[in-house]
C-alpha cells in the first residue's frame, strides 16, 4: 500500500519533469527556427527584404466596406476568419486555451525574448538607423504595413457589426452576441 502511494506521488512528478524537458527542447527548436529571421533583421532596415502584406489586408484597405458576396452569415464568418488569420484574434476576445502546460508557455516566452534580443543586437549596430530606414524606403513600407493592419481591423469590426445587424452567430458577430 505504501509503495502504491509513493508511486502515485512520483508518477505525476516524473511526467511533469518529462514535459518540462520537452518544453525546453521545443523552446530551443523555436529559437533555431527564428534565428535566421532575427539575424537578417538589418536587411529590413536597408529595405532589401520586406515582409509580405496578406492579400486580405490589401483588399480591406482598398475597400473596407465592401459587401459583395457577403449576403449570408457563413460568408461573413469566412471573411472574418480570413482577417483573424492575418491579424490574430480580436482584442476583446478571450484568449484561446490551447492546453499548453505552464512549462511550454514559459519556453515560448523565453524563446521570444531570446529572438527579440538577437534582433535588437543585430539592428543596434547600424549607425543612423532611422535615417537609413527613411532613405532606403523601409520606413515607408513599415507605415504601409501598419496602415493595412488598421484597415483590416476596421473591416473586421464593420463585418461583425453587419453580422449583428443580420442576427448572425459568432464569429460573424462578436463573441458576446447571441442571435435571437
Q: How does pLDDT run across 87-134, given as a tens digit for each residue?
A: 998 876 766 666 566 667 777 777 777 766 766 766 666 677 677 767
- Model pLDDT, residue 78: 96
Q: Tell me which residue of 161, 158, 171, 27 sits closest to 85, measured CA to CA.
A: 171
Residue identified by cell 486580405 is 56
Q: What tens digit of pLDDT does each residue of 40-88 get? A: 666 666 656 677 889 999 999 999 999 999 999 999 999 999 999 999 9
> Helices 138-165 and 73-87, interaxial angle, to 10°?
150
Confidence of residue 31 (pLDDT cuts 50, 70, 90): low
How confident is the model at residue 174, as a pLDDT?
A: 92
Q: What cell numbers appear for 130 in the block?
A: 532611422
What is the C-alpha separation between 107 and 101, in angstroms, rounded?
10
Q: What are phi and psi of 173, to 5 degrees?
A: -140, 170
Structure confidence at residue 10 as a pLDDT band (50, 70, 90): very low
What number is the average pLDDT over the span 18-39? 57
Q: How far is it, in rounded angstroms, from Cα 17 to Cα 38?
A: 30
Separation CA 118–CA 108 (nearest Å): 15
> 172 pLDDT band (50/70/90 cuts)?
very high
Cα–Cα dist 122/135, whole Å:
19
Mean per-residue pLDDT, 139-161: 92
Confidence at 27, pLDDT banded by 50, 70, 90: low
Burial bucket for residue 159 (CB in 10 Å: 0-12, 13-18, 19+): buried
C-alpha cell at 71: 449576403
DSSP state of 175: T
Distance of alpha carbon 156 from alpha carbon 54, whole angstroms: 14
Given a contact cutoff of 8 angstroms between Cβ atoms, the answer to whether 169 and 79 are in contact is no
pLDDT band at residue 26 using 50, 70 and 90 as cut-offs:
low
Does the pLDDT of residue 12 top 50, yes or no?
A: no
Q: What is the pLDDT of residue 135?
A: 74
pLDDT of res. 167: 96
Amino acid at each position: 500500500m505504501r509503495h502504491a502511494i509513493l508511486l502515485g506521488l512520483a508518477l505525476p512528478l516524473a511526467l511533469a519533469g518529462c514535459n518540462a524537458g520537452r518544453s525546453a527542447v521545443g523552446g530551443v527548436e523555436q529559437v533555431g527556427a527564428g534565428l535566421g529571421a532575427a539575424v537578417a533583421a538589418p536587411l529590413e532596415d536597408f529595405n532589401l527584404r520586406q515582409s509580405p502584406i496578406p492579400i486580405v489586408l490589401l483588399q480591406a484597405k482598398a475597400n473596407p466596406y465592401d459587401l459583395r458576396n457577403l449576403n449570408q452569415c457563413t460568408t461573413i464568418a469566412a471573411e472574418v476568419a480570413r482577417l483573424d488569420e492575418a491579424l490574430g484574434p480580436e482584442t476583446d476576445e478571450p484568449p484561446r486555451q490551447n492546453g499548453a502546460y505552464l512549462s511550454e508557455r514559459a519556453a515560448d516566452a523565453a524563446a521570444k525574448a531570446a529572438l527579440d534580443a538577437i534582433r535588437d543586437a543585430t539592428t543596434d549596430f547600424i549607425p543612423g538607423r532611422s535615417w537609413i530606414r527613411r532613405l532606403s524606403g523601409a520606413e515607408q513600407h513599415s507605415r504601409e504595413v501598419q496602415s493595412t493592419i488598421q484597415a483590416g481591423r476596421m473591416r473586421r469590426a464593420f463585418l461583425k457589426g453587419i453580422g449583428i445587424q443580420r442576427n448572425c452567430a459568432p464569429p460573424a458577430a462578436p463573441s458576446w452576441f447571441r442571435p435571437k
